[in-house]
Structure 1
Amino acid sequence: MTQQQRTELDGLLRHGPLDVGGDVAEQRVIFHDMISAVPLPSDVSTVEAELGGVPVVLVDTPGTDPSRAVLYLHGGAYALGSAADSVGLANDVSRRVGARVISVDYRLAPEHPFPAALDDALAVYRALLEQGTSSESIAVVGESAGGGLAITLLAALRAHDLPQPCCAAVFSPWVDLTVSGTSATTKADLDPALTPEALRTRARDYLGHNDVDTPLASPINADLTGLPPLLIQVGSHEILLDDAIRLAARAADRNVEVDLQVWPEVPHVFQGFAALLDDADRALNAVADFMERHRFAPAPPTRRS
């Protein structure tokens, strides 16, 4: 079934209404409608709250340990999406790692350009520490732009002399806002969800007056020394494949423990389609295995193979 699932998902995304580079107000509505069309499981609990002055959504599934926190950073090219929109994938992470997810509703561009999103993520992390959550009980997860934001958060923690989380996992991270990786060209016809032009449009919105190579905006240029163990998952059919590969290489060059997983013939943030795609389910189980190895959370008692 796997190849058929991949083909069906490609068609679903390729012919969908979302245009990441389109009018922001219009695409936010489309993005929300697409996400909310998939009902959440009845056993998912969500609570709107605030940490460090930043809105968050707390996501719990049966058996989660509220003393452990997954700090979750949603995708949307820094201009689309929300903490609420991320709950579908966030609850899948929560269910597998047995921990509460705190999805950050960071401010979006172009209304709030860089470094607003980073400031919000840093404020939530700092608030967790101030509430008594140990850094060893925090993991960071980010998807797409949120994956890039996760890496910049880790770099910023070092700059602010704050302790690193126990580990981090990023899905299809966008870490080079110049969109100059080789795969931006070689994978353009295969990627059903993103185009280089769309990402460059959103990069201009996010950067404001900042240079595109600014390290904490394009973390491929950041000093990655001292980052915690890092899991990077990416699909081979996406224009951000090269971002993930270069991120892994640069982190490894700085003696960071890195697990790079390239999943064949799947699209951008394929993990969000676990209900349709066996590869996505296996990838999320791999996230749980990675976090278990780094003593973040015990593996849940029952998981699909």
Structure 2
Amino acid sequence: EYGIIGKVPGHCIGELGDTDRPVLLYLHGGAFVLPAAPPVHGAAVADLCHALNSSGFLLDYRLAPLNRFPAALDDCEQAYRALLERGFPAERIMLAGESAGANLLLGLLQRIRKAGLPMPCGAAAVSPATEMGRIHAPPSRARLRLRDPILPAAALHRIDPLYAGGEDASNPELSPLYMDCHDLPPIYLLATDGEILADDTLLLAARMHAAGVELRVDLWPALPHAFPLFGAVFPEAREARRDIVAFFRDTLERATQ
């Protein structure tokens, strides 16, 4: 059902009053300008929550261009704080998101650290956009510009100004590629070798590895951007969701021991 957590609305999966269960905070993609698509995002989040025996909150953050950066990230931070205030222990909170939502996820981790809040048990970022200032880079954006059927390179020329506006896009909250990678929870990065954001993932993974982050990285072959959403189309999407579930089961078990 659609509800409000703190001051942020969104789609609620399961019973968010049961703080003894884990909860998945999911940040949807859509180029920062499109709302969540319940038949797609809602179904994927419900599938993950069912497998994890958890509740879930599919955040309905404010959208550009009416609400530019940092409005969406502010909403994400507010939703995380609201879950803590409801009584969910941080070690039972899971973060996940795809594309623009994965960008927001990485920004949210920076906000959590900066505020001195307890970190979630883990975070899964699917096909994150990590560089918002250079349309031509990282290199996979030019190399694969004709191969990605979900996110064409031309779209990036419109997304960045619509969302970032006049903000300095080297700000790590906008471009997580440049974030301080220390003191983060376990991270699962997932992308494909056929999407223009492949190097957005791999370059950030290299920086996280150098900073000692507990990290898993999967680069799938010959699949489109954010493919785990499309379980009805790709058998690999269902396998990728099982991998995400296994990652969270492991982090939950270790965080609550």
Structure 1, residues 108-148: CA drift from partner, whole Å, max 9, x if none? Answer: 00100000011000001001111111000000001100001
Could you tell me which of 147, 161, 164 is aligned with 2:102?
Answer: 147
Residue deviations 1:156-194 (CA, integer Å, cap 9, x gap): 100011011000001111111123111101111211111
Contact kept? 1:83, 1:104, Cα under 8 Å: no
1:65 CA drift (Å)? 8.4
Offset of residue 295 of structure 1: 2.2
Q: For the residues of structure 1 that align with 2:131 and 2:248, how far apart are their CA atoms? A: 26
Among the aligned pairs, what percent are the same residue?
Answer: 36
What TM-score, normalized by structure 2, do the two folds share? 0.92
The two structures, once aligned, show a CA RMSD in angstroms of 1.8
- Residue 198 to residue 296, structure 1, CA distance change in 2 (3 Å): farther
User: What is the count of residue pairs matched by the alignment?
Assistant: 249
In the alignment, the residues of structure 1 paired with residue 236 and residue 29 of structure 2 have an alpha-carbon distance, to the nearest angstrom, of 20
Amino acid paired to 2:145: A
After the TM superposition, list the runs of 4 or more consecutive aligned residues in structure 1 that deviate by more than 3 angstroms: none
Per the alignment, residue 130 of structure 1 pairs with 85
Contact 1:56 1:83 in 2 (8 A): no
Matches within 5 A, 1:1-150: 47-60=1-14, 67-82=21-36, 84=38, 86-150=41-105
Contact 2:193 2:222 in 1 (8 A): yes
Of residues 142, 146, 154, the one that matches 1:197 is 154
What SS class does the counterpart of residue 106 from structure 2 fall into?
helix
Flag the 1:82–1:187 CA change in 2: closer, same or farther, 3 A: same
SS in 2 for 1:267: coil
Aligned partner of residue 96 in structure 2, secondary structure: strand
Most deviating of 103-112 and 247-256: 247-256
SS at match of 1:103: strand
How is 1:154-193 mapped onto 2 (pairs within 5 angstroms)? Answer: 154-177=109-132, 178-179=134-135, 180-193=137-150
Contact 2:9 2:60 in 1 (8 A): yes
Does the aligned pair in 2 maintain the 1:191–1:268 contact within 8 Å? yes
Q: 2:5, 2:13 → 1: CA distance? A: 14
Q: Alpha-carbon deviation of 1:274? A: 1.4
CA distance in 2, matches of 1:104, 1:198: 24
More off after superposition, 92-101 vs 217-226? 92-101
Q: What SS does the aligned partner of 1:121 have? A: helix
Shift of residue 60, structure 1, vs aligned partner: 3.2
Is contact 1:235–1:268 with CA below 8 Å preserved after alignment? Answer: yes
Aligned-pair CA distance for 1:100: 1.1
Deviation at 1:246, TM superposition (A): 1.0
Letter in 2 for 1:281: R
Offset at 1:83? 6.7
Structure label with greater radius of gyration: 1
Q: TM-score, normalised by structure 1?
A: 0.78
The 3-state SS of whatever aligns with 1:156 is helix
Residues 269 and 66 of structure 1, relative CA distance in 2, 3 Å threshold? farther
**Aligned match of 2:187:** 230
**In 1: Cα distance, 2:164 partner to 2:58 partner:** 23
Give 1:245 shift: 0.5
